[in-house]
């Protein structure tokens, strides 16, 4: 099963020689599959869940995706699912799906840095690789969520876009790829299965389980098994604030002032902090005010590698290794989880 959501992988340009002058999300997912000769004869179904540039990703698209995954993963004849996606927010969707998926079948996100009309189009190879990873994982009864880009398989909680225009645009922060498909052909190498099983993919389970009992923020590791039902609720408002020179907390106070009249009040803030999750003293003061008004604050880091280290006297939980955008998803789910228990 291939679920299409748009992105550059489905993008087209008027003039294919003008690499960056294109529109994302133009071709249907069935057109993408038809363009890959290696997929001819593979029993595939396609469903167009959305057609968006993923910079415009929204909870409603995630909800539609969750519904489609729920429906199709339940079907015995579906071995697993590939999702075609934009690169810009792939790390958020990957993290979200991993948190919700029961892990019973493989779900693989893939994307492209060049549009389908480009002479350098990378989508067809990425799509072929993604299908192979689903086939291989399914054959070995492995499930979970990973991302496949440029010949590498990434854990859904580690993957992040780290280059704005290179074909090799993703990395895993401090985490290496689970598998390098170019060095370890997925069809043949036992090590691939071992690597997939190490992170993200694991032995198939009998069926969906209850969400893990552990409390957030300690539950941001693979296969959260929180269930697709989380996407049916309206999400609480969670914003990201960056710490930087002169960060005096003005933006936080502006949000708090606006929140008093907003239909969807502010419930959480993720700080993209300096270094290992530190922040400007002026911003800290404003965040204390936010906490006094019932807002939950989590800390992440704006630094590419290393993440947040716990320190004596930390005022707010630090998210160890997620990007700020992934931490926003984690805090949203955490707040939703808390409200479901009330």
User: Nearest approach, Cβ of 229 to ligand SIN (angstroms)?
Assistant: 27
In the list 1, 2, 3, 8, the residue contacting ligand SIN (rule: CB under 6 A) is 8
Catalytic residue among 8, 87, 274, 332: 8
Q: Which is nearer to ligand SIN, 86 or 236 (CB)?
A: 86
Closest CA to 123 of 31, 192, 189: 31
- By beta carbon distance, the residue nearest ligand SIN is 86
Footprint on residues 77-96 left by ligand SIN (CB under 6 A): 86-88
334 binds ligand SIN per the rule CB under 6 A: no
Binder of ligand SIN out of 18, 55, 264, 340 (CB under 6 A):
55
Nearer to ligand SIN by Cβ, of 89 and 334: the residue is 89
Instruction: Tell me whether residue 197 is exposed, middle or buried, using C-beta atoms within 10 angstroms of its C-beta: 0 to 12, 13 to 18, 19 or more.
Output: middle
Q: Which of 218, 221, 217, 187 is nearest to 202 (CA)?
A: 221
For ligand SIN, the binding residue among 2, 22, 50, 54 (CB under 6 A) is 54
- First vs last Cα of the chain: how many Å apart? 37
Q: How far is the CB of 8 from ligand SIN (least distance, A)?
A: 3
Crossing angle, helix 190-198 and helix 123-139, to 10 degrees? 90
| Residue 53 binds ligand SIN (CB under 6 A) | yes
Q: Is 318 in the site for ligand SIN (CB under 6 A)?
A: no
Tell me whether residue 57 is exposed, middle or buried, using C-beta atoms within 10 angstroms of its C-beta: 0 to 12, 13 to 18, 19 or more.
Answer: buried
Question: Is the CB of 4 or the CB of 143 nearer to ligand SIN?
Answer: 4
Q: Is position 19 an interface residue for ligand SIN (rule: CB under 6 A)?
A: no
7 contacts ligand SIN (rule: CB under 6 A): yes
Cα 99–44–182 angle (5° rounding)? 70
Q: Please report how close the Cβ of residue 56 comes to ligand SIN at its closest, in angstroms.
A: 8
Longest dimension (CA), the chain: 61
The CA-CA-CA angle for residues 37, 81, 92, to 5°, reads: 110
Q: Which stretch binds ligand SIN (CB under 6 A): 51-59, 124-132, 260-268, 291-299?
A: 51-59
Q: Which structure tokens are listed for 36?
A: 């890959």
User: To which residue do tokens 């689970």 refer?
Assistant: 178
- The residue among 113 and 178 lying less far from ligand SIN, judged by its C-beta, is 113
Is residue 68 a contact point for ligand SIN (CB under 6 A)? no
Q: What would the x/- binding string for ligand SIN be over residues 110 to 129, using CB under 6 A?
A: -x-x----------------
- DSSP symbol at 20: T
**Cα–Cα dist 323/220, whole Å:** 12
46: annotated active-site residue: no
Element (H, E) at 252: helix 250-259
Residues serving a catalytic function are 8
Residues that bind ligand SIN (CB under 6 A): 6-8, 24, 53-55, 86-88, 111, 113
């Amino acid at each position: 099963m291939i679920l299409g959501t748009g992105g550059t992988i489905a993008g087209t340009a008027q003039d294919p020689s003008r690499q960056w002058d294109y529109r994302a999300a133009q071709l249907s997912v069935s057109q993408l599959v038809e363009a890959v000769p290696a997929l001819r004869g593979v029993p595939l179904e396609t469903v167009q869940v959305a057609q968006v540039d993923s910079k415009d990703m929204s909870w409603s698209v995630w909800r539609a995706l969750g519904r489609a995954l729920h429906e199709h993963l339940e079907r015995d004849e579906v071995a697993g699912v590939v999702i075609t996606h934009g690169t810009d927010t792939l790390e958020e969707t990957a993290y979200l799906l991993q948190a919700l998926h029961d892990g019973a079948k493989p779900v693989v996100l893939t994307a492209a840095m060049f549009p389908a009309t480009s002479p350098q189009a990378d989508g067809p190879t990425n799509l072929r690789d993604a299908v192979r990873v689903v086939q291989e994982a399914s054959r070995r009864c492995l499930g979970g969520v990973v991302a496949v880009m440029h010949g590498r398989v990434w854990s859904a909680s580690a993957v992040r876009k780290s280059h704005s225009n290179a074909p090799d645009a993703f990395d895993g922060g401090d985490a290496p790829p689970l598998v390098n498909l170019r060095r370890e052909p997925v069809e043949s190498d036992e090590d691939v299965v071992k690597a997939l099983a190490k992170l993200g993919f694991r032995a198939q389970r009998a069926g969906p389980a209850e969400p893990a009992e552990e409390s957030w923020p300690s539950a941001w590791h693979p296969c959260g098994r929180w269930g697709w039902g989380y996407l049916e609720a309206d999400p609480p408002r969670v914003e990201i604030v960056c710490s930087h020179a002169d960060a005096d907390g003005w933006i936080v106070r502006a949000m708090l002032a606006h929140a008093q009249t907003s239909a969807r009040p502010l419930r959480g803030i993720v700080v993209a902090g300096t270094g290992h999750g530190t922040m400007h003293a002026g911003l800290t003061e404003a965040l204390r005010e936010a906490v006094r008004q019932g807002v939950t604050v989590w800390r992440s880091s704006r630094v590419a590698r290393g993440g947040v280290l716990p320190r004596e006297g930390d005022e707010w939980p630090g998210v160890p290794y997620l990007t700020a955008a992934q931490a926003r998803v984690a805090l949203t789910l955490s707040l939703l989880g808390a409200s479901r228990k009330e």
